[in-house]
Chains A and B, each alone.
Chain A
């Protein structure tokens, strides 16, 4: 079932399914860091006041922070 990354509870593994809605440069940077469509990720933390989300690429243990507004645009599938 397709969902938005923003709605996923902490530490639940999900598969990235849609990166087409986010800004082009953000998509490229995410892909370069290993966050591509089909990879498994989880949300590790959410900052205060709707601040950035820390997400981890489960396989590589790579962590990045992105904004909530961008996380709303990222489609994920709960396996």
Chain B
């Protein structure tokens, strides 16, 4: 017996926090609607079963791709129980979903979250009354701190129950009966008929496919009611929820200005909002590079290229390892993997800040601040959230585009996401910025991020014009959650969750890539241990280099590292470290004679834009579901990169930069 329990609730009610608490997972949480975009499965503590974390929904009728996952899950997958998590401070809204779940008649229990927030607003919840009215076990929890979660876990409910029946009025009840008769379903399936009448897209599609005449029942009902059936059903549900709320919540309505109001007055200020947003971004990069990341990276590099290398050489010589093995380990693996590992501190710091923004509630405000801006290019403010997440890594950024309701806008968001400069490109900038722009590193790196954003917006404008001849009305509605102070543990978990992929890549992709690149550099047509310039790597890179001459970096070394960068962008640095057989700190010096500041900038811009990495291409393929679009999304960047680098280098030369 290994029960499967589904976790369902409104967006941003703490489902994922609870999921992490109950399963010991480190799934990603944030304070904006739409953090969970696919179902995640975790093992419950004490082997009590499996818990399935579903995207947040307000209603079982889906408006966007991530919401449809919930309806499909409930219809087609088997599960033994549900935990419905409710935000106590928004009881009435949450209860409308709860009602729909109760109507299904499956085993259910309720986790009442954010009781503290509700109490802060002068609301007290009468738990006993609540349990009595709904005939369901209700557990008060604080998902973020874990209070009450064990009790919830120890009393998992898998006992089947009778479907809850809300009277929708004589006409609607008659229509429900007709649907059940027509489709030959039992009273147990009443909820399906209700969902059909309420216009649930997933259910309508399914029922109408096998039984086209079913739509007549809804039409007849709508004529009798004189309004849309969904409007009628929603109103009935709301009246019910309102009734429950009045019986369960004791309120002393204090209407003072909350902390959220005060913060909002500043960060979504009509004039200051935009500059504040850019100031936040700038300080994020400044702290990451200049204050915290860089000093830590230097320390780590000192260790890797100093004691570790010396130690390894000593050990290998003591063991009597062959020259080949010594070169492989010291020049190949330590240089290649180490060249990337030194950036782990900076990447951790960057992810820490992105997690902080997500968890505080600021992301939802960014959607407001950026909406006008994004509208100009045919997108909406919500598209900016996937773009910011893309700064961490393009893969989750592209997946987050699922929260954009409009299909056209979602596709365009995916297409432009690879221009968002992800953390894997950071090591490359860090090396070049340290070598050529030592005095204003943060500014140079920020300029690349902005270059990425500007080009992404231009591309979006172009795609929108191509994809939509006439601009359809776009949907924009964003919930503005109250701010909260991110919790240390949650922050650490989501930082680790994001950054561990980077560390893991260092152990797999970059390790393998380093060995391979080193081999290519170590061997040539004349055999092993050839001079680097006669190696296979030099030949391959040289062929590419011809095309790169107009861009200012037509060397075989640049060509070779760009090819390997397709595996993962940070491999560009590994490759260079191997080619020049130096550690990261010395790499800066090795680059000085080969690049000028101008060609270095041109190279960084090229790396930013040229092609998404392998993992990103894979996720684009999955999200757009078309090979043709995937090819296009992956390759158009190459043209853009070439054009931009050409312009930077040639115009830069005309202006007299070197």
A residues near B (Cβ < 8 Å) are 23, 25-26, 28-34, 36, 44-52, 54, 60-67, 70
Contacts and interface: CB of A to CB of B under 8 A. Distances in A.
B339 interface: no
Interface in B451-494: 473, 475-481
B621 interface: no
B264 A54 contact: yes
Interface of B is mostly: helix
A29 B230 CA distance: 12
Nearest to A51: B372
Nearest to A50: B372
B61 A62 contact: no
B372 A49 contact: yes
Contacts of B230: 28
Contacts, number: 99
Given A29-B63, A64-B479, A52 B473 contact: no
A33 B479 contact: yes
A62 B90 contact: yes
B240 interface: no
A9 B381 CA distance: 24
Contacts of A49: 372
Contact of B92 (A34, A45, A65, A66): A34
B604 to A, nearest CB: 32
A65 B268 CA distance: 11
A48 B274 contact: yes
Contact of A52 (B89, B265, B371, B405): B371
Contacts of A44: 261, 264
* Shortest beta-carbon contacts, A-B, top 10: A32-B58, A63-B480, A51-B372, A48-B270, A65-B478, A65-B368, A34-B93, A49-B372, A52-B368, A67-B476
Contacts of A50: 372
A50 B61 CA distance: 31
Interface of A is mostly: mixed
B369 interface: yes
Given A45-B264, A66-B477, 19 more contacts: A25-B475, A28-B61, A28-B230, A29-B477, A33-B477, A34-B90, A36-B235, A45-B268, A47-B371, A50-B372, A54-B268, A60-B90, A61-B121, A64-B477, A65-B367, A65-B480, A66-B476, A67-B371, A67-B476
20 contacts: A25-B405, A28-B234, A29-B58, A31-B234, A32-B58, A32-B93, A33-B479, A34-B93, A36-B234, A45-B264, A47-B273, A51-B371, A52-B478, A54-B480, A61-B121, A62-B479, A64-B479, A65-B368, A65-B381, A66-B476
A12 to B, nearest CB: 14
Contacts of B223: none
B103 interface: no
A64 to B, nearest CB: 5
B238 interface: yes
A47 B381 CA distance: 12
B331 interface: no
A28 B59 contact: yes
B65 to A, nearest CB: 13
Contacts of B473: 23
Residue among A29, A52, A67, A70 with max Cβ neighbours from chain B (10 Å): A52
B466 to A, nearest CB: 23
Contacts of B234: 28, 31-32, 36
